Amino acid sequence: MNIKVEHNPSQKRLELLGVFNWDIWTKETSEFPWYYGNSETCYFLEGEVIVTPRARQPVTMGKGDLVIFPAGMACTWNILSDVKKHYLFS
């Protein structure tokens, strides 16, 4: 149950995934608990975040990162700078 982070994926990869057709989520600097009932794939347009899964090491991500969060993961989001991301639950 690991978070997968792909730094600076190619424009072609993003287009193949259809990222730019996904919904957009924005959130200001904050900290909150979160639970992933479904897997989420997202692409960060802005921001910097530290996500800490329960009983695991923190993972840093932000602008330009393509990230996959696994279903069933409980974590804490610490948004260091305002986030804007495309996202898709599956």
Q: What is the mean pLDDT of residues 52-76?
A: 97
Per the listing, tokens 């730019």 go with 20
Phi, psi of 14 (to 5 degrees): -60, -40
Task: Look up residue 60 and give its amino acid.
Answer: T
Q: What is the chain's mean pLDDT, rounded? A: 97
Q: What is the mean pLDDT of residues 2-28?
A: 97
Q: What is the 3-state secondary structure (H, E, C) of 67-88?
A: EEECCCEEEEEEEEEEEEEEEE
Number of independent structural domains in the chain: 1
Alpha-carbon distance of 2 to 56, in angstroms, equals 9
- CATH label of the domain that carries residue 71: 2.60.120.10
Can you give the residue range of the structural domain that contains 23? Answer: 4-89
User: Does residue 1 carry a pLDDT above 80?
Assistant: no
